[in-house]
Each structure stands twice: as structure tokens, then as C-alpha cells.
Amino acid sequence: MTAPIAAKPKKAKWQRLLNVNIYELRQEIDHAEVVDHVHEEGALTGRYIFMVIMSCAIAILGLLLSSPAVVIGAMLISPLMGPIMLLGFSLSILDFEALRKAFKSIVVGLLAAVLISYLITVFSPLSEATAEIMARTRPNFFDLLVAIFSGLAGGYAVITRKGEAIVGVAIATALMPPLAVTGYGLAVGSMPIAGGSFFLFMTNLLAIAISVTILSRLYGFGRTHCRRRNAGQGLFIIAVFTALSIPLGISLRDIAYETRVTNSIRSEILTPFADIPSRVSDLAVTFPSKEELHVEATVLTRSRVAGAQSTLQSQLTEKMGRTVSINLGQVLINQDIDLEQAKFLELANTSLGAPLRAEISRIESLTEMRRSEQELRNAVPFKLSGADIDSEAQSARFFAARQTGFSAASYQAIETGLSENFSNWSIEVVPPILELPLINFDKGKDSLSPQMTPALETSAWALKRWDIGQIDVVGYASTSGSVENFDNSALAFRRASTIANYFKEQGFDAQPIGEYRVFQQTELEKTLGYQRFQAVLIRPRDRAGE
């Protein structure tokens, strides 16, 4: 008698529903069309290389400028999604030719991106590591999660043919900036930056590709392969995610630890200043080794506390359980507007109310004026010998110290620029006493060319800033200044008169003087050139001789 055949155990209801739903999902997809589309998008073409270069060029410029908006703009044109989708699908359907094709596109795109970011960094005047750059040099477990979710979204968009362009931006965000930072790190010779960003790129690349593989298998791609190969794929995916998770998890743990330590140190910095109004201005904590911390801090305080640095160092060493070296700066302030405002805000809640709120408003207005005054001072590009600034009247007069590289026209242009940038202010720049520009004439001419008008205006501007109203206008003529040499003396005077008339219209007491010939003029013309004596010189009048 034959033994009865054991009945197969029935699947749970939720398993049956899940299988039905997966089956319906697979039936809605045209697998052949999707595979053809992925092959087309992942191909290595001239357009692909061009767009990779353009995207990475924009990305590295945004990183150097620390502009997230520019970096996001680079993501909008990045074509990296195509080869990565092809890589994920080729792993799913075990198409080794497609796998080779995807690797080729990715490698060429990688090299092109790193090269363009390297070249832009080398030739750029900006080479400091910005916050946007440093944010992509320490990958952690959260970066892995971002890549996984981006890959799942990308795979879904490709399979369903919905929203591919939008999801491509998310995928490019995880890939293109790290590539740009890799090129930057190589250009500045920083292997930690280049290595960290490249590790982030590879992490995101593998996580996205494998996420696509998992999702495509769910939708029935590659289901015709034998169970042994399917099991091998599963083990491969688990191994890759495990290998990526361990170092990224350690990195995330270290970052979380450093954040806790920094917050703890920040809470302890003001301990020696407990009875004095003060606040932390700057704090930077570095971790040179596992056994050591280094702290750089600046405290704004009303009075200096002796021994604050050594006290803090011993307290932090005991609390952290490791050697802490600290460099503490104490900046004395006479009036801390923020602290005063805080006191008034506390009192404003009492019955005094209205008068204090009015005083708070006055302090806020004063703070804004002082902030504007400081911004104006910082905008002045030359050395000052003095300054007269009235914040309430919003007027400023800057007295420039004597220095090389600045002409009267330079100071005039600076005054114009400051007035445009601080339009609510009345600004004057007083240049140091210097030689005014020569007013040149054409050979044999006594009429002024239009090109000399700016020089005249600059001279009038400088004289007004110096508060000089009386000038001598000295005209010259070269020995070949006119067709008839005997007319050179009259030519020099006519030139001086032309310029003097201009200054008289501007309200100056201008006296024309013609000089021909001056002492040793023939020899001077050989060394200085004839043009030096085709000009008019403006000089303040000697008041002692009046």
C-alpha cells in the first residue's frame, strides 16, 4: 500500500494577497520595452560625455562658491542616471554584455568629471575648502540610506516610465558632487578629501545600482534564471550592503560622538564667567587623536577672568576622560547690545512695559545703525588716516592715508561705488594730497578733446575734497608744439585759459599761466617726451604769496 502524498501547507492569507499583487504589478509592465529603454539611456555617447562635463563643471563652481543653489542646478543636467540604471538591470537579468557597457559609460563619465573639476580648481583663484566641499568628505550610514532610497525611486521611475527626470536629479545629487570634490581634492593635493569623497561616490553608486536590482527583480526582471543564480544574487547583494554598512556605520557613530562632545564643551565654556555677562562668540573642536581634544574658543565678556583657560582645561579633561588642550580668547566689550536687550525684554514683561519696550526699540535701532556703520567701514578698501562717521545722520567722511597704487581717479571711483552700495548714506572720500592728472592736448591744439573730460572732473572733485578754491592753471607747449614755433608761448597760455575757464565755471578762482620755454626744456623733452609739454598742470595757489 502506497503512502499517501502529503498535502502542501497552505500559504497564509497575507502571503496569497502579496503574491497576487506582485503578479498584477508584473503584468502591467512591458519588460522588453523597459530593457530596451535602459540600454539606450545607458549607452556611451558624445552627448552623455558633454553633459557629464557640463554638470560637473557647474557643480565644482557651486562647491567653490559654497552655493547650494548652483550645485542643485548642476544636478538638473546630470546624465549619470542612465548608466547606473543599466548597471542595476544588467545585474538583475544577468546580461554581462550590458554590464560591460554600463561599466564603460560610468568609468568614462567618472574620469571626465574628475578631470574637469581638477582643471577648474587648478585655474581658479578660489581654492579654500568650503562647507559644501567638506560636507562630502565624511560619508556615513545616512548617506547610504539616501542612496538606497534614491535607487529605489529611480528604479520605480524607469520601470513605470513616470518621473524619470525628477528622480534623476536625486540620483545625480548623490553622485556628481562627490565626483567634483574628488577632483578638487586631487587639485589641492589633499588625499583625505579626495579619498573620502570618492568613497562616498562609490558607496552611492553601488547602493543605487543594487537597489535598482532588487526592485527590478520584484517586478519580474530576470525571474527566468535558475534558483542557484537567484540565490547567488541575493548573497551578493547582502554581502555588498554589509560591507558598505560597517564603515559607514562607524563613521556615523564617530560624527555623532563628535557632535555630543562639541555640545558638551559649549555648555562648559562659560563656567568661569558665571557671574559676568558674557557669551561664546566662536567655538571649534578638533580631534587630533583618540586620546586628545583641542578646543579653540572666543568669549565676549565685560571683564577678563584670570586663569579661565587653565580652569576650563582641567574641568574638560576630567569630564571628557581624555586630554583636552584649549586656546581661550577673551574679548572685552564695553556695551553688549544683545545682553542689554535681553535684560530689557525680561523687564518688559513686568508692569513697566511700555517705557521699556520703547527703550528696546531704541536699542534695536542703534544696533542696526552700528551694524551698518561696521559694514561701511569694512567696505573701505584703502588705509585710513581718519574717519568722521555719524550713524544717526548716516553721513561718513573717510580720510585716506598716503599709499602706493591709488590715484585721484581711484579714490573718486571708490567714493562712487560706496555711495551706490550704501545709498542711504552720504559718503565722502578725502584722498591724500597727491599730484593731479595732467590735462593733455593734441599737438598744436588749444581745444580740449572729449577724452580729457574725466581727468578734469577728477581734478575738480579732488580740489573740492581738499577744500581748495584757488588754483593756478599752468599751460605748456613743446618746442614742436605748433607749426610756427614763435607761437608756442601764446599756445601755452591759450591751453591754460581753456582749462581755467572750466574751473571758473565750477566755482574756482583759477589763474591761467603760460610757460614756454621752461628751464632745460629741450633736454627734458628727450627724457620725458614731447607729450609732457603738450599738457596743462593744475596746482593749488601758494596762499603765502597772496
DSSP state, residue 485:
G
Tell me the C-alpha distance between 363 and 357, whole Å. Answer: 10
Could you tell me the pLDDT band of residue 344, with boundaries at 50, 70 and 90? very low
Please check whether residue 515 is in contact with residue 474, taking contact to mean a CB–CB distance below 8 angstroms: yes
Please check whether residue 181 is in contact with residue 204, taking contact to mean a CB–CB distance below 8 angstroms: no
pLDDT at 546 over 50: no
Ranges 200-204, 388-392, 466-470, most confident: 466-470
pLDDT at 485 over 50: no
Could you tell me the pLDDT band of residue 393, with boundaries at 50, 70 and 90? confident
**What are the distances in angstroms from CA 266 to CA 118, 280, 297, 312, 314?**
38, 8, 9, 11, 15
pLDDT at 377 over 60: yes
Tell me the C-alpha distance between 139 and 255, whole Å. Answer: 10
Predicted confidence at residue 274, as pLDDT, reads 78
Predicted confidence at residue 87, as pLDDT, reads 82
The mean pLDDT of 376-393, rounded to a whole number, is 78
Annotate 37-51 with b (16+ C-beta within 10 A) or e (fewer). Answer: bbbebbbbeeebbeb
The 3-state secondary structure of 463-474 reads HHHCCCCEEEEE
pLDDT at 442 over 90: no
Could you tell me the pLDDT band of residue 22, with boundaries at 50, 70 and 90? low
**Residue 84 burial (CB count, 10 A):** 31
Cell of 388: 568722521
Question: Is the model more confident about 383 or about 54?
Answer: 54
Collapsed DSSP state (helix, strand, coil) of residue 536? strand
Predicted confidence at residue 50, as pLDDT, reads 93
Could you tell me the pLDDT band of residue 362, with boundaries at 50, 70 and 90? low
The mean pLDDT of 441-450, rounded to a whole number, is 82
Predicted confidence at residue 114, as pLDDT, reads 93
Collapsed DSSP state (helix, strand, coil) of residue 334? coil
List pLDDT tens digits, range 239-272: 665 665 676 667 667 777 777 888 888 888 888 8
pLDDT exceeding 70 applies to what percent of the chain?
75
Please check whether residue 482 is in contact with residue 539, taking contact to mean a CB–CB distance below 8 angstroms: no
As a CATH number, domain 268-337 is 3.30.300.20
Answer positive or negative: Cα dihedral of 356, 361, 362, 368: positive
Cell of 114: 574628475
| Mean pLDDT rounded to a whole number for the chain | 76
Question: Is the model more confident about 111 or about 153?
Answer: 111
Tell me the C-alpha distance between 339 and 10, whole Å. Answer: 73
The mean pLDDT of 425-430, rounded to a whole number, is 88
pLDDT at 119 over 90: yes
List pLDDT tens digits, range 140-155: 777 778 878 887 887 7
Tell me the C-alpha distance between 316 and 308, whole Å. Answer: 12
The mean pLDDT of 224-231, rounded to a whole number, is 54
As a CATH number, domain 14-225 is 1.20.1080
pLDDT at 484 over 60: no
Could you tell me the pLDDT band of residue 230, with boundaries at 50, 70 and 90? low
List pLDDT tens digits, range 500-537: 999 998 899 989 988 877 777 777 776 666 667 888 88
Question: Is the model more confident about 330 or about 458?
Answer: 458
Which one-letter amino acid corresponds to residue 175? L
Window from 119-128, 483-492, 508-517, 529-538 with minimum mean pLDDT? 483-492
517 preceded by a cis bond (ω within 30 of 0): yes
Distance between first and last Cα of the chain: 145
As a CATH number, domain 439-545 is 3.30.1330.60
pLDDT at 215 over 60: yes
Ranges 120-129, 152-161, 171-180, 339-348, most confident: 120-129
Predicted confidence at residue 183, as pLDDT, reads 92
List pLDDT tens digits, range 91-107: 777 777 888 888 899 89
List pLDDT tens digits, range 278-327: 777 778 787 777 778 888 888 887 777 888 888 888 888 888 888 888 88
Ranges 95-99, 363-367, 410-414, most confident: 410-414
pLDDT exceeding 90 applies to what percent of the chain?
7
Could you tell me the pLDDT band of residue 42, with boundaries at 50, 70 and 90? confident
Could you tell me the pLDDT band of residue 371, with boundaries at 50, 70 and 90? low
DSSP state, residue 94:
T
Could you tell me the pLDDT band of residue 127, with boundaries at 50, 70 and 90? confident
Please check whether residue 240 is in contact with residue 148, taking contact to mean a CB–CB distance below 8 angstroms: no
Please check whether residue 437 is in contact with residue 454, taking contact to mean a CB–CB distance below 8 angstroms: no
Could you tell me the pLDDT band of residue 336, with boundaries at 50, 70 and 90? very low
Could you tell me the pLDDT band of residue 184, with boundaries at 50, 70 and 90? very high
List pLDDT tens digits, range 47-96: 889 988 998 999 899 888 888 888 877 777 778 788 888 888 777 777 77
